[in-house]
Structure 1
Amino acid sequence: MSEAGKEQFRISQDIKNEIADCKRCEDQRDYLLKYSPIVRFLSDNIRQLGGNISSHNIYCRRCTMRKAGGFDPDYGIQICANEMRNQGHLEDTMAHEMVHAYDHLRFKLDWTDNLRHAACAEIRASSLSGECRWAREFFRRGQWKLTQQHQECVRRRAVLSVRARPACKDEAHAEKVVNEVWESCFRDTRPFDEIYR
């Protein structure tokens, strides 16, 4: 099957399974909001800053773009139900987006025009959410390195995210912006004392 054919098949499956995918995502989201240590910790810290992230503004939807989720300061968190492999993937995605919510409240980020803000937010979210832990990289993404794996994953994911922003010219520009903020943003583990996982 061609790449276009594979994508058409994925789209048809996403549409066919939309109701079931969203229901499963919502059930798992509600479970994680009650029982996940990282989700509860981030939720509590967001609440201390005057925000409120809960089931009323974490939306499970079918997405047409191939991504796990997104954060919007005006609407909340969107989880791409058709992209969630399992509850662990959902937990990492929720944690990633909740770090963005925390950063938005704590640091008053300019998400639209300031690529340095976006780069820092992506570095922190990828580092603190668990999505770059060794097992995820090794078994899911085929990254076989044993040293500096976490840092390389965080850097790679931050560059990809910055590259996708309209204000970014090209990959070299994205890498330059990430490198400019890397040291201070990678070391900043707030609200955690250290990288949680």
Structure 2
Amino acid sequence: MGDANLGSKPSPDAGGSPPPPISETMTVAECEDFIKESLRNPTVRFLKEHLEKSGCSIGTNFVRAVNCKERIAGRYVRGSGIDVCSNNLEFNDEVQQVIIHELIRAYDDCRANFDCNDCVHLTCSEIRANQLSGDCHYKRELLRGHVKSMKGHGQECVKRRTLQAVAGTPLCSKIAVKDAMEAVWDTCYNDTAPFDRAP
């Protein structure tokens, strides 16, 4: 499965260019505290509720803080849950963002006949996670230095971050991801479930 990227460095599960060095990251214990706080966020609660409604139970350890070898922010692992990579994060807001992004991916896995070995399925889920999580909000893009103009920045961001995340997997080359994006873009970008509209 694709991973929430930092902006992001290539790994076996996520693609992209290396991020700047992180000055001071959080400990696992600090990240666990931020996870507890994030689980009270209305969007996180909404997504967890819809996972349950879709028939996927979430245990108390579904979202957990870990130290990751890869330079990724987090990942959803089928049958296990969400890993939040404390050693690659600095702020509470980043923890919350990772959880929202990966809950959308978990929701896709739960509600659809999702094949984690299919490049098209991975691309679609990553498009949705980037679109619906707020990862491509104008302010976030501005902080990353990626905003050239207000017009069209959201779609450019979703495409860039999807390519970074999925092209790094052993299953998908950059060409395969670009082809998949072209094939499923309209359907997946406009699919806002479980939200009524893109937040």
TM-score, normalised by the number of residues in structure 2: 0.84
Matching residue within 75, 84, 96 for 2:80: 75
Residue aligned with 1:71, SS = strand
**Deviation for aligned residue 1:123:** 0.2
Matching residue within 131, 135, 159 for 2:139: 135
User: Which is further off, 125-134 or 53-62?
Assistant: 53-62
**Deviation for aligned residue 1:64:** 1.4
Is residue 178 of structure 2 the alignment partner of residue 175 of structure 1?
yes
Q: Is the 8 A contact 2:35 2:64 kept in 1?
A: no
Residue aligned with 1:60, SS = strand
Counterpart for residue 55 of structure 2: 50
Paired AA for residue 159 in structure 2: R
Residue aligned with 1:143, SS = coil
**Deviation for aligned residue 1:56:** 1.1
Structure 1: how far apart are the matches of 2:133 and 2:83? 16
Counterpart for residue 198 of structure 2: 195
Matching residue within 66, 72, 87 for 1:61: 66
Matching residue within 21, 24, 39 for 2:44: 39
Structure with greater proportional helix content: 1
- Which 4+ residue blocks in structure 1 deviate beyond 4 angstroms? none
Query: Which structure would you say has the larger RCO, counting Cα contacts within 8 Å and 6 or more residues apart?
Result: 2
The runs of 5 or more residues in structure 1 that have no matched partner are 1-6
Counterpart for residue 186 of structure 1: 189
User: What percent of counterpart residues are identical?
Assistant: 32
Structure 1: how far apart are the matches of 2:148 and 2:92? 24
Q: Residue by residue, what CA displacement relative to the aligned partner does 1:143-167 show, whole Å, maximum 9, x if unpaired?
A: 3321111111111111122211212
Structure 1: how far apart are the matches of 2:46 and 2:192? 13
Residue aligned with 1:138, SS = helix
Aligned residue pairs total 180
1:5-20 matched pairs, under 5 angstroms: none
Q: Is the 8 A contact 1:68 1:80 kept in 2?
A: yes
